[in-house]
Amino acid sequence: MKRFWFAGLLSLMSVGGALAEPVSVYDVSVTPDNPNKKVTVQYRLGETTDHFASVAVNISSNAGESWTVPANTFYPGSDVGSGVPADGTLRTLVWDARADWNNQFSTQMIVKLDATASLLQSQVYFTSGNNLYRMNLDGGELMLLATGVAGVRSLMADPASQMLYMTKWDTGTTIYFYDVAQGGSIGMIGGTGSGGQGVAYDASTGRFFCGLYYGGLYTLTDQGTASWQQIVSPAQISPLGGIRGNIFCLPSQQQVFFRGSYNGSCDQCQGIWRANYDGSGLVKIMNGDAGNALALDGDNLRMFFCDGPNMDIIKRSSLDGSGVSTIYTLTGAYTCCTAISYDDGNDKIYLYLLKNTSDGSAAAIARMNADGSAFEILYEAASLSTTAWGVAVFAR
């Protein structure tokens, strides 16, 4: 029977194109795990000013004569692909040889790391089933980053702290986070309750916001010492039961936007609401049917949201609720939008889609221009065992 055996490692400097800045690779070590058919590679990248690196892995089974061994599958959190900080910090990648080269054998294995510096580009992060993924804005370079996100109901990006924040239904105001720069596993900031919905964060004030389906709007002003405080109660937005879907901060105005929850028939009662950071100034700025998705464009004072009982209508308006227009109606395989993220660098919106409101067995990530044109599906995942609804554009 054939077995996997790793004989050696060779690290070479990047050989990128003429316009790309090569990055030196040093302090390379390798730890093969033959029984589990995986290889751990640790390395450092030479420092570059205000740059990150794209790290490519090439593998040879004949001492470098050719580089035909597939290197496509890496364990979550591996420092490979685009967006790896070139700062001299020890980096780790783990190649899954079982997935890419199962039951193959060679005593002349060589791995080459090619690193090319570039400014870190905007990327899309999303959850699917129990997994957190990253991909380029056009859907390329899909990468599994971490596991443990089953049940996520909201995902938001904070470029200032290089963090992603998530909430889950079962754990209420508990915030889960992923360090985009360092990678690794999913961390947690304590909270209470259940019915976790949207999460928002204002880096300028260090303040979190979280919505609960039956509990209203909460804020956390100091994650190290303070506890969550309710700033909008269900009674204040009655007959609504609480909050659903995405919530967003508008730091320039110290305001937070959210959508209401209601079980049963309540035409035009849910809508979109706004409150100041301390809960004052609460106002319903728009009526609306059922829906989870909401995204803000603070620079242009716009918001994007889904509407209609089937969450299939994508609309745009001013932040005060005026100028409402339908920009797209979902048809085809996916007719339910559960989350929206706005890409301010390219004036596009990204959507998390399900088959319909009662079928989460398959999900898709789509994008289109802010006027509703050029709709396209970028990613599809079928037969999910669990449902997670979260998409965020990490702007650079």
334-345 confidence digits (pLDDT tens): 999 999 999 988
- 3-state SS assignment for residue 237: helix
Give how far Cα 301 sits from Cα of 74, 156, 323, Å: 41, 19, 11
Residues 6+ apart with CB under 8 A from 237: 216, 260, 273, 282, 284
pLDDT tens per residue across span 34-82: 889 999 999 999 987 656 788 999 999 998 899 999 998 888 778 888 7
Spatial contact of 155 and 146, defined as CB atoms under 8 Å apart: no
Residue 235, helix vs strand vs coil: helix
Give the pLDDT score at 223. 76
pLDDT tens digits along 206-223: 899 999 999 999 999 877
Asked which of 222-236, 316-330, 347-361, 375-389 is least confident by mean pLDDT, the reply is 375-389
Number of domains forming the structure of the chain: 2
What range defines the domain where residue 163 resides?
123-394
Whole-number mean pLDDT of the chain?
85
What pLDDT shows up at residue 19?
A: 44
Residue 183: is its pLDDT beyond 90?
no
Confidence class of residue 284 from pLDDT cuts 50, 70 and 90? very high
CA distance 342 to 297: 7
> What is the distance between the alpha carbons of residues 377 and 107, in angstroms, rounded to a whole number?
43
**Pair 243, 212: CB distance under 8 Å:** yes
Contacts with 225 (C-beta within 8 Å, 6 or more apart), sequence order: none
Q: Which residues pair with 111 in a beta bridge?
A: 59
Position 16 in a domain: no
| H or E element at residue 396 | none
CA 79 to chain centre: 17
- Residue 296 pLDDT > 80: yes
Confidence of residue 9 (pLDDT cuts 50, 70, 90): very low
Q: What percent of the chain is modeled with pLDDT above 90?
A: 49
The enclosing domain of 110 has a CATH number of: 2.60.40
* Same domain? 215 vs 304: yes
Going across the sheet that includes 302-307, the strands are 294-297, 302-307, 313-318, 325-329
| Whether residue 359 sits in one domain with residue 344 | yes
Q: What is the mean pLDDT of residues 270-282?
A: 93
pTM: 0.75
**Is 3 part of any domain?**
no
144: which 2 tokens? 């599994």
Structure tokens of 17?
């194109």
Instruction: Please indicate, yes or no, whether residues 204 and 245 belong to a single structural domain of this protein.
Output: yes
Q: Would you state the pLDDT for residue 267? A: 61
pLDDT of residue 234 exceeding 70, the answer is yes
Question: Tokens for 381?
Answer: 């995942």
d(CA 144, CA 121): 18
Tell whether the model's pLDDT for residue 16 goes beyond 90.
no
**What is the pLDDT, as a whole number, of residue 7?**
37
> Are 395 and 380 within 8 A, CB to CB?
no
Task: Report the pLDDT value the prediction gives residue 166, as an integer from 0 to 100.
Answer: 94
Instruction: Please give the residue that has the higher pLDDT: either 301 or 22.
Output: 301
d(CA 309, CA 266): 11
Q: How large is the average pLDDT for residues 90-114?
A: 90
Question: Domain boundary residue among 77, 101, 118?
Answer: 118
Residue 9 forms part of a structural domain: no
Average pLDDT over residues 355-362: 84
Q: For 353-364, what is the mean pLDDT?
A: 86
Model confidence at 363: pLDDT above 80: yes
DSSP string, 93-158: EEEEHHHHHTT---S--EEEEEEEEEPPPPEEEEEETTEEEEEETTS-S-EEEEE--TTEEEEEEE
Residue range 17-43: average pLDDT?
83
Query: Do 189 and 86 belong to one domain?
Result: no
Q: Do 246 and 335 belong to one domain?
A: yes
Mean pLDDT of the 360-386 span: 86
Burial class (CB in 10 A: 0-12, 13-18, 19+), 93: buried
